[in-house]
């Protein structure tokens, strides 16, 4: 019976070590999960920022293009008002060219 006491102590030590190991694994799992959540949030924020910046640049470019078209339209209207005869002649030439090109396709 002398051998039973050390075996019981070893079993208790093993059980305590196993419980400590389980706690350490649970803490490690929790830490890894928290790290993954933080990394996912950071990546999501970075992607969102990039998309927002791209959207803003596209919007700015579209606005600039719209301003250029409006400016060109205004310039064309001003030129027509200053030289209406020249505008009519240019329209006549353009109509003749379009007519010649489209007649050649038939």
Residue 99 lies in a domain: no
- 36-58: pLDDT as tens digits: 999 999 999 999 999 999 999 99
Spatial distance between the Cα atoms of 69 and 65, rounded to a whole number of angstroms: 6
Residue 103 lies in a domain: no
Which residues form the domain of 70? 4-79
Structure confidence at residue 106 (pLDDT):
55
Spatial distance between the Cα atoms of 73 and 66, rounded to a whole number of angstroms: 10
Residue 75 lies in a domain: yes
Structure confidence at residue 12 (pLDDT):
86
For the chain, residues with pLDDT lower than 70 are 1-5, 104-106
Answer whether 0.75 is exceeded by the pTM: no
Structure confidence at residue 67 (pLDDT):
93
Structure confidence at residue 49 (pLDDT):
94
Residue 96 lies in a domain: no
Structure confidence at residue 80 (pLDDT):
87
DSSP 79-100: HHHH-HHHHHHHHHHHHHHHHH
Spatial distance between the Cα atoms of 95 and 1, rounded to a whole number of angstroms: 118
Cα separations (Å) of 25 from 10, 22, 85? 22, 5, 89
Structure confidence at residue 3 (pLDDT):
64
Cα separations (Å) of 46 from 9, 15, 33, 34, 40? 55, 46, 20, 18, 10
Residue 105 lies in a domain: no
Residue 61 lies in a domain: yes
Residue 91 lies in a domain: no
Tokens 């102590």 belong to 9
Residue 9 lies in a domain: yes
**How many domains does the chain fold into?**
1
């Amino acid at each position: 019976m002398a051998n039973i006491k050390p075996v019981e102590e070893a079993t208790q030590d093993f059980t305590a070590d196993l419980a400590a190991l389980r706690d350490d694994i649970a803490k490690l799992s929790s830490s890894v999960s928290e790290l993954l959540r933080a990394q996912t949030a950071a990546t999501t924020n970075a992607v969102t920022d990039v998309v927002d910046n791209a959207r803003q640049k596209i919007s700015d470019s579209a606005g600039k293009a719209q301003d250029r078209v409006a400016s060109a339209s205004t310039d064309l209207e001003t030129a027509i008002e200053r030289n209406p005869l020249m505008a009519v002649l240019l329209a006549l030439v353009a109509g003749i060219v379009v007519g010649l090109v489209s007649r050649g396709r038939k």
